[in-house]
Chains A and B, each alone.
Chain A
Amino acid sequence: MISKSGTLRRIVFIILIVIILLYTLFPLYWLFLASLKSRIDLFTIPPKFFFKPTFEHFKKLFIYTTLETGEEQQTRFLFWLTNSVITAGTGTLLAVALGTMAGYINSRMNYRGKGDFMFFVLSTRMLPPVAIIVPLYIVFARFRLADTRLGMILLYTLIGLGLATWIMKGFFDGIPTEVEEAAFVNGYTRFQAFVKILVPMVKGGIAATAGFCFIFAWNEFTFASIIATRYAMTLPPRITALMGTSGFEWGIAAASGYILIIPILVLFILIRKYILMGMTFGVLGRK
């Protein structure tokens, strides 16, 4: 690394990283600034980089000031937040758990109609939600699942299942069967081998899958706005229902965008090492 081409390489590398960071970060930064700008500051020409920040947008998310008397009350933000956490969290857990199991089976065993099953699982992700929402809603209503948390959890599990099954199958496919056979020789049952040996080997895949499933469920808008009305209402549809007297509240939307992103960010900070971790005995390529 002391050679000249090594330093040059390093510089190019750093420049690339910086460009990527700028490209990703600038809109995020701009969005963050927007959440702190007063309405007037939001629309100045030319756009302002320096201004006096205000926390009123964040405040409005949690506190509602009555129009007639001016007293302050709590909004139902926490309630919606709780719903989001429960529905997206449980949905993700179930999707990842079921998907990992299903992915494993499909990777290792053959059965009649396997190709069809896998294809069917994938096809659940092919249809735009808008197409299916009214019939789905009718089915939900018939089974008393409309506007319930259980209904939303089932829905989110469903959305995540397709992704989870396929990705996990992909990762399991990369592990040669010798691994299990070695385990069997040592007296493990298949289930034990699965849990004790294989699952740890695909931690990266599980982490990535959990990340995706959670993001999709947490940010899900279409189904939540139609199927949930009161009891199961999550955050995303509420965010867009923000309208002040002048029109759409960009400041509040930006603020809520950031509040929404926090749980996902936390999740990713927790799981990132599983994704990035290089395995000493790698998975995708053992002969």
Chain B
Amino acid sequence: MKKAKWLFFALAFMLAVSFAFASGEKEGAEKTKKEVTLTVVWHGGVCADMLLEIAKDWTAISGVKVEGALVGYGPAWHDKIASEFAARGSGFDLACWDSQSIGEFAGGGHCVLLNPYIEKSDKLKMTDWSKEMLARYGEYPDASGDIYALPINADAEGMHYRKDLFEDPMEKEGFKREYGYELNIPQTWSELRDIAEWFTRPPDLYGLGMMGGREYDYLTSVTNCLVWVFGGELWNPETNEIKGYIDSPASIDGLKFYIELMKYCPPGVETWGWDEVNTAFQTGKVAMAHNWFYFFGAMDDPEQNPYSDVTGYAILPGEVGRDGMFRREFSMGGQGIGISKYSKHVQEAWEFIEWYEMFEQQKRYGAVCQTGRQGVLDSEEWLANNDYNKLFRVAFNYTNDYWHLPEYAILLDILQEESHNAVTGKKTPEKAMADCAERQEQVLIKAGYEIKRTPKVDMPDTICPNPCGKPEIIPIVVE
């Protein structure tokens, strides 16, 4: 009897282990066959779903399967890619990362340089994308011409508003009486502020919804717009200076403006991400919303937005800074797709990307998300798809971006933290930005960058997209 018990336990143990072991063999099976499967890492969502759907056609053509390893949006997505690279693993072949992470991944030598592939290719040319696009999504270091990723999803910030409120004659009359000019799509942030104030009627309606959360890049993707339009800058890429830039009077102007705008937003905006902004607009809580073009599709969809038929879209305003010059700048977003250096199927991965970035595929993709391919962006069909595509095409000319450095994630976190401290009142804007500059410079020094000091100016904005720094307000009119 006792022997039997022993046997039973031992057997059960063996069984469990061998069963587990057997199922672990799956990895080996795939490699022996000729069939190759590519794994793509991206954050889950409509665009990733679209990519995988279109990829099925590639499987029909080439026999190479494309599977997605989708992660939740947010740090988990970046972490997964980073860990795999850190372990030099071949868990995935292709990865889509936020444009700003290009410095981190390319700088660390984890992705494949694409220039030779593009040059040899007969399907793609460098001119298929605007220089801006390529630079933003795949170039590292800045202005070197080395491309490590191709645009997979282009994005920028924009705004949408309630046409019914804006076009209502009573509102227009009242507004004109109060502020002295016509109620229209704001061309400057000051106008936006007036409109937001006008529509702030708690608790049912507020003027503006915008992001403000501590996590990821929620707050700073908005405060950066303000910093830039008031003439401030995040840093100087040539001298690596941060002090005198993020803490310049112009930058502080921008930050203080954000704090003022918070008065016209629903309470709690300092915890909002894009999800909350969308919700606020969809529940009719706000008259205007500042968010990514990515979500305009949802705004257009009557199933998600009860106000979709009265939703208008616009490009973000600019502002006149201390020096009397008008600037219009806002954040860009979106992702690029790159090939992992440690992948076992680099050639197959390239072939897939090559095919995917072609006009026909991008056209299909553009029906649902924003593509980076210039040909599609210019095409009549795409522009006529909805109300906002034509705005996107123009909007991309006004974008500015964070630091394209391997230390991006660290600098972002510091900027987020200190900006959030300023915005929640824990520190004054001046102190918060001064601390921010100090800490960020420490990060650069630690990483081995040399900081060359140049004399400080009030308005450090030197990288300004066209048109910029003009003394008169240049409205945007898009037909």
Interface residues of A (CB under 8 A from B): 39-40, 43-45, 64, 66-68, 86, 90, 93-94, 97, 133-134, 137-138, 141, 144-151, 153, 189, 191-192, 195, 225-226, 229-233, 237-238, 240-248
Contacts and interface: CB of A to CB of B under 8 A. Distances in A.
Given A229-B69, A240-B72, A245-B301, 7 more contacts: A40-B306, A64-B49, A86-B20, A134-B83, A230-B91, A241-B44, A247-B298
Contacts of A243: 43-46, 72-73
A230 B46 contact: no
B71 A195 contact: no
A246 B160 CA distance: 14
A229 B39 contact: yes
B50 A67 contact: yes
A189 B2 CA distance: 9
A229 B92 contact: yes
Contacts of B17: 150
Contact of A225 (B76, B88, B306): B76
B238 interface: no
B275 A246 contact: yes
A247 B278 contact: yes
A90 B87 contact: no
B27 interface: yes
A248 B50 CA distance: 17
Contacts of A97: 13
Contacts of B279: 43, 246-247
B46 A231 contact: no
A231 B26 contact: yes
B83 A43 contact: no
A242 B368 CA distance: 17
A63 to B, nearest CB: 13
Contacts of A149: 20, 23-24
A237 B72 contact: yes
Contacts of A148: 23-24, 26-27
Contacts of A64: 49
B295 A245 contact: yes
B274 to A, nearest CB: 6
Given A137-B87, A225-B71, A225-B80, A67 B27 contact: no
Contacts of B130: none
- Looking at chain B's contact residues, the main secondary structure is helix
Contact of A153 (B20, B49, B71, B295): B20
B298 A245 contact: yes
B308 to A, nearest CB: 11
B282 A137 contact: no
A43 B274 CA distance: 14
Contact of B46 (A141, A147, A245): A245
Given A150-B20, A241-B44, A247 B72 contact: no
A245 B16 contact: no
Interface string B348-371: 000000000000000010011000
A137 B16 contact: no
Name, among A40, A68, A151, A247, the residue most crowded by chain B CB atoms within 10 Å (CB to CB): A247
A90 B16 contact: yes
Given A134-B87, A141-B89, A247 B71 contact: no
B72 A146 contact: no
Contacts of A43: 279, 282-283
Contact of B24 (A150, A244, A248): A150
Nearest to A149: B23
B86 A134 contact: yes
Contact of A150 (B23, B283, B364): B23
B107 interface: no
Sorted nearest first, the 8 A-B pairs with minimum C-beta distance are A247-B275, A240-B72, A148-B24, A241-B44, A150-B24, A245-B298, A246-B298, A243-B45
A242 B27 contact: no
Interface in B70-123: 70-73, 76, 79-80, 83-84, 86-89, 91-92
B297 interface: yes
A248 B73 contact: yes
Nearest to A87: B20
25 contacts: A39-B282, A40-B306, A67-B49, A86-B19, A93-B16, A94-B16, A145-B24, A146-B91, A149-B23, A192-B2, A225-B76, A226-B83, A229-B41, A230-B67, A237-B76, A241-B43, A241-B70, A241-B71, A243-B46, A244-B45, A244-B46, A245-B45, A245-B297, A246-B275, A246-B295
B24 A237 contact: no
Interface string B273-300: 1110011001101000000000101100
B91 A147 contact: yes
Contacts of A93: 16
A43 B282 CA distance: 9
A248 to B, nearest CB: 5
Contacts of B87: 134, 137-138, 141, 146
Contacts of B283: 40, 43-45
Contacts of B33: none
A198 to B, nearest CB: 14
B472 interface: no
Interface in B403-436: none
B53 interface: yes
Contacts of B2: 189, 191-192
B18 to A, nearest CB: 10
B20 A90 contact: yes
Contacts of B177: none
Contacts of B45: 243-245
A238 B80 CA distance: 13
A141 B49 CA distance: 29
Nearest to A38: B303
A151 B16 contact: no
B79 A67 contact: no
A141 B85 CA distance: 12
Given A86-B23, A226-B80, A230-B67, A247 B301 contact: no
